[in-house]
Chain A
Amino acid sequence: MTYTFLQHYWCFIVSLLGALLVFLLFVQGANSVARSLGVTEEGRRLVYNSTGRKWEFTFTTLVTFGGAFFASYPLFYSTSFGGAYWLWMIILFTFVLQAVSYEFQNKIGNFLGPKTFQFFLTLNGIIGPLLLGGAVATFFEGSNFIVDKANLVDAGAITPVISRWANASHGLDALLNPWVLVLGFAVVFLARVLGILYVMNNVDDEDIRSRGSVRLIGAAVPFLVLFVAYLVHVLLKDGYAYNAEGVIYMEPYKYLNNFLQMWYLLVILLIGVVLVLFGIGKTIFSKKYVCGIWPAGIGTVLTVLALLLSCAWNNTAYYPSTADLQSSLTMANSCSSEFTLRTMFYVSLLVPFVLAYIIYAWRAIDKKKITKEELQGDDHAY
């Protein structure tokens, strides 16, 4: 295993975790439409109990995504989290609210009332995907930061801190870029699509399933419009490339070139998109079909994986700087040492084992769908 292979491997693992995280945002998506999916208190309870059995996977994937990024690309961790402070803090804040909301909302002694925590779930359901989608968009659009490792020892530097945000907004400036918002809202609607598909599959309730088919159209149409717009924008825009010496430069149609040069990513992207469309389309047009979450979910993972890899592989700067082009982060200039990447490679061999027991436990819990009757007899229901 060469150092270059290990850099590509860890980029793949982090991208896969990112893609799985986007899929698992179905929890947020379903919570954001809980009020329209379940119009009665009983109906909403079904939705919250359905997502409530999966929220920890989303949370854990977010934590593992952060940990894997830290271990494999510490300069990204240092630059993005320390620089785009407010963007990440708002994301974390809403996830904290979500974490306690399930357990607290219907417990006796909750003096804030269930509606407070249901509001938190809705807030996280919208803000979480929006800002996470916005953060992903910055991989293509760039961010306003400067990196200078010499600051640590340079008396002429302003501070010894090596990564600095070049403006005072600390990440919120990204939201002024309309393309960041386009992808952000695309992820919000994608999360809703996945959330509706998941609840339709996981809850055995005719009302929710018939309402879900209708709500699915309302989420899928804006998602597809925004996603296609962003995809076309990315394929036509100039991208951030680097040469053998590590010098970063702008390359016309960089991301389009990446997909053409890495044809396998294009194939993965197309398969992913087709699967998402199939999952949505069949659920809308077939009244008895409730398994759309699986093709759409797998399609989401494949699509996001291909997009994330296209912005890092093939000599592409994955975290471009709009303030100083040469500060842009590439796999080569931001990764951990070969020893650490190699060590972590061996650790990552545990991932299939972890996935196996997750799938086993998931199936064991979900083989019987959630019903109103089940909730009445369950003393741990949310």
Chain B
Amino acid sequence: MLQNLILNIDAGTIDWSRAQFALTAIYHWLFVPLTLGLAVIMGIAETKYYRTKDEFWKETAKFWQKLFGVNFAMGVATGIILEFEFGTNWSNYSWFVGDIFGAPLAIEGIVAFFMESTFVAVMYFGWKKVSAGFHLASTWLTGLGATISAWWILVANAWMQCPVGCEFNPDTMRNEMVSFAEVALSPFAVSKFCHTVTSSWIIGAIFCVGVSCWYLMKKRHTKLAIESIKIGAGVGLVAALLAGGTGHKSGMDVAEAQPMKLAAMEALYDGGTEQGLKLIEGIEVPYGLSIMATNDPKGYVPGINDLVNGYTTPDGKTEPSVEEKMERGKKAIEALAAYRKAKAEGADESIVNYQLSIINSNMQYFGYGYLKDKTDVIPPVAVNFWAFRVMVGVGCLFILFFAVILAVTYQWPKALFGKRDITALPAWHYWVAIALIPLAYIGSECGWLVAEFGRQPWTIQDMLPTWASVSDLQSSSVMITFFLFLILFSTMLAVEINILLKQIKKGPEV
């Protein structure tokens, strides 16, 4: 009977709603990492001004703040759409888990957005109106506000990937929070935040280094370029190393909470112990995947077929097949309908309690009751496989890049880099740094592709698939808004890039 219920949803509405959310999220993520990354760069530059009172540092800080401002506006604009799209396009989701999911969004507004919006105005318009100390604090608080905002958004996102701290209430027909600490401090959220923010610092750092290299190539603003490279490459190297470490922790979290995502990332169909990590198809690092997933070279990693058909780990843990989970999910849904009917009719308490016991014993597979076929649980494998490799590859490249550019800038170790002058390198060296800016964005977006494609078909892992989360809209309405946002965001992105390029060409006021 549930099949009929699901088939009544317009497939176009689901697809266009997913496309619209993906579009907004991808555009939003073009601007946020630069905001988070540049916040650190401009904060360090202004701190140097505060400590030295050297006007050079003031102009350096103002230059990066100017570029920050152009980017910041687009991040704000795309961010508001994301928040409201949970209601406009995913209204069933908003009810089903709003009791838990709404809280981080509200806290983000109260704690982070106001901090960001208050102090960004002081940062831009307060140079001649507030003390140097207050201004410096405002600059850092702008970045801190953006970072706290990222924290709460990633808490919300992590909860969708690994729902914790909640219980289903059959009387209200929704999930309700039972532990705020479990939601707000979920290890999944902590790893996600650390990995996302450190990878954002890489974007800010490569942007700073790339722009500075362009000045060196043009023999303009040399002092600003060298000093900015020192800051950018230093921040970048630390961030890239941290991103590697936090990425490993994220991988372990995914293996625990979303094994299907990990299997898709590796295109691993038949798993087992001592699994190697594929660099590309046919070349692998022995034991790599087992270490990545379990910190143990002999660790067991299930493949896609194992997860679909069920498996038993070497230590005896058994995971049911998807078909069994679907059956149990349907039992939970049907028992929920019977429970509500029994309560409405004032049935005997024993009947109500019987239905309740069926609901409770099958609730962990509730979402599976909405699946049409066992293969629905398999996310797009090719996208996950390649996006993961691009993300990791780009991350590794940046560790090397920032280490080399720091070595060249400081001419250390002397034996290797003593004769290289950062201001007099062949032009192609600078072009490499400039070309790495878009590559960093590609790597960063690929990270999100893995995170979001990998959890399909779930809006909330194991709890609610996308087709039971969507709003009751005509697909044509969502299609129209999709194209409106596509045109709007693309046009604004083009304007922003052009303004950034002109601002960079114009350079700082030194």
A: which residues have CB within 8 A of B?
Answer: 53-54, 56-57, 59-60, 62-68, 70-72, 74-75, 77-83, 85-86, 88-89, 92-93, 95-97, 99-100, 102-104, 107-112, 149-150, 152-155, 157-165, 168, 170, 336-337, 339-340, 343-344, 347-348, 350-351, 354, 357-358, 361-362, 364-365, 367-368, 378-380
Contacts and interface: CB of A to CB of B under 8 A. Distances in A.
Contacts of B94: 70, 74, 77-78, 81-82
B125 A380 contact: yes
Interface residues of B, number: 100
A72 B102 contact: yes
A64 B8 contact: no
B87 A80 contact: yes
B77 interface: yes
Contact of B334 (A102, A153, A337): A153
10 contacts: A56-B116, A59-B117, A60-B113, A60-B117, A64-B110, A70-B101, A81-B88, A81-B91, A336-B99, A339-B180
A347 B477 CA distance: 37
A238 B446 CA distance: 55
Interface of B: 1-2, 4-6, 8-9, 62, 65-66, 69-70, 72-74, 76-81, 83-84, 86-92, 94-96, 98-103, 105-111, 113-122, 124-126, 129-130, 134, 138, 169, 172-174, 176-178, 180, 333-334, 336-337, 340, 370, 468, 470-474, 477, 481, 484, 488, 491-492, 494-496, 498-503, 506, 509
| Nearest 7 Cβ contacts at the A-B interface | A74-B98, A82-B91, A81-B87, A64-B109, A109-B502, A71-B102, A56-B117
A135 to B, nearest CB: 12
B203 to A, nearest CB: 19
Given A78-B87, A82-B88, A361-B138, A164 B472 contact: yes
| Residue from A54, A96, A168, A379 having most chain B Cβ neighbours under 10 A | A96
A347 B106 contact: yes
Given A103-B70, A110-B498, A70 B102 contact: yes
Contacts of B2: 155
B396 to A, nearest CB: 34
Q: Mostly helix, strand, loop or mixed at chain A's interface?
A: helix
A380 B124 contact: yes
Contact of B103 (A81, A343, A350): A343
B121 A365 contact: yes
B326 to A, nearest CB: 15
Given A110-B499, A154-B337, A344-B106, 18 more contacts: A60-B116, A71-B102, A74-B174, A78-B91, A96-B78, A97-B488, A104-B496, A107-B70, A107-B503, A111-B498, A150-B337, A155-B337, A160-B468, A340-B99, A351-B110, A364-B122, A364-B126, A365-B129
Q: Mostly helix, strand, loop or mixed at chain B's interface?
A: helix
Contacts of A95: 77, 80
B159 to A, nearest CB: 13
Nearest to B502: A109
| Residue from B96, B109, B474 having most chain A Cβ neighbours under 10 A | B109
A229 to B, nearest CB: 31
Contacts of A93: 484, 488
A50 B96 CA distance: 43
A85 B477 contact: yes
A107 B499 contact: yes
Contacts of B180: 339, 343
A79 B468 contact: no
Given A63-B80, A66-B84, A67-B105, A162 B122 contact: no
Nearest to A153: B337
